[in-house]
Amino acid sequence: MSSLKVYPVIFLMMYMLIPSIKAQQKDSTKTDITTLESTLETIDIRTMDRKIVLKTNSHIEAPNWSPDGKTMIYNSDGLLYSIPVSGGQSKLIPTGFARRINNDHGISPDGKQLVISDQTETGKSLIYTLPINGGTPTKITEKGPSYWHGWSPNGKTLAYCAERNGNYDIYTIPVEGGEELRLTSAKGLDDGPDYAPDGKKIYFNSSRTGTMQIWRMNVDGSNQEQITTDELHDWFPHPSPDGKWIAYVTFNTDVPADQHPANKNVMLRIMNLETKEINTMANLFGGQGTINVPSWSPDSTEVAFVSYKLK
């Protein structure tokens, strides 16, 4: 009888640890010592041809493609870097006091600003904006942890994942700051919000059904509908600029639904939003850091991503 009483306690302890596990994954800004090589690539969705932009012994994550199609931005060791899409020398982007930037960062629709998620000030990730070429960050969210994922096409609103009172949900906030608006409240983890190019929908991933699946909703949080339905765990949906596709990363069932760890065998997948047909673009060793943030080329023909090799 005494052993039976232990299980509820253990389960409760594990449940209480979920937010901290999530925060540890999201807030990891230091190089993984097991990483030997990171490769930043692009893949053409028409031919599935892959091109290497950068291969480095540093641990890099989460490429953003600039609206003019010329530059990519990625994070490494808590800092931001830019690199020409054609390859070449990476350049450090000055970010002032922000030295613990994680892989939830992006570029404004007009290409004039950056948004970062950084935990330097309080130890919890907060969202900031700064000029595209770097500068002093302006704090947008007062509460943390908050992790940016989407910028509305009209440039006025930021969408993000945030933990409040022990639960991770989707929120939006004006780009100048102000009151945040909670969009989801389902039990389980909601993450990875990204706007459709017409600004009418937000795509996100949710574990509310027991597996991590892709969902979408109206920008006010109404009409939440499930998009993927398989037994695998789908994360970080990114609609293409032409509105025809979503690209996302898929973990196998050996990974818990509410986790997106590094150094796992994953699939980079794409869905045709008209036919709902799903295809695998690439099988990778990656996961955390592969495509956490919007990474489509402006012409909707290519996706940028990062894969890894270990020692």
**Distant-in-sequence, close-in-space partners of 134: CB < 8 Å, separation ≥ 6:** 80, 93, 94, 95, 114
Helix (H, G, I), strand (E, B) or coil at 98: coil
**pLDDT of amino acid 12:** 37
What CATH code is carried by the domain that includes residue 293? 2.120.10.30
Q: The pTM is what?
A: 0.91
CA 153/CA 239 separation, integer angstroms: 12
**pLDDT of amino acid 100:** 98
Question: Which stretches within the chain are classed as H helix?
Answer: 2-26
Structure tokens belonging to residue 301: 């023909």
Structure tokens belonging to residue 89: 């020398």
Domain count, the chain: 1
Domain range for 114 is 2-310
CA 77/CA 139 separation, integer angstroms: 21
CA 265/CA 164 separation, integer angstroms: 31
Helix (H, G, I), strand (E, B) or coil at 66: coil
**pLDDT of amino acid 311:** 72
Bridge partners (DSSP) of residue 248 are: 269
CA 50/CA 163 separation, integer angstroms: 36
- Count Cα atoms within 13 angstroms, Cβ side, for 157: 22
**pLDDT of amino acid 36:** 76
Each residue's pLDDT, cut to its tens digit, for the chain (311 residues) gives 333 333 333 333 343 444 544 554 666 555 555 657 999 999 999 999 999 999 999 999 999 999 999 999 999 999 999 999 999 999 999 999 999 999 999 999 999 999 999 999 999 999 999 999 999 999 999 999 999 999 999 999 999 999 999 999 999 999 999 999 999 999 999 999 999 999 999 999 999 999 999 999 999 999 999 999 999 999 999 999 999 999 999 999 999 999 999 999 999 999 999 999 999 999 999 999 999 999 999 999 999 999 999 87
Bridge partners (DSSP) of residue 201 are: 218
**pLDDT of amino acid 94:** 98
* DSSP codes joined into one string, 103-133: S--EE-TTSSEEEEEE-TTTSS-EEEEEETT
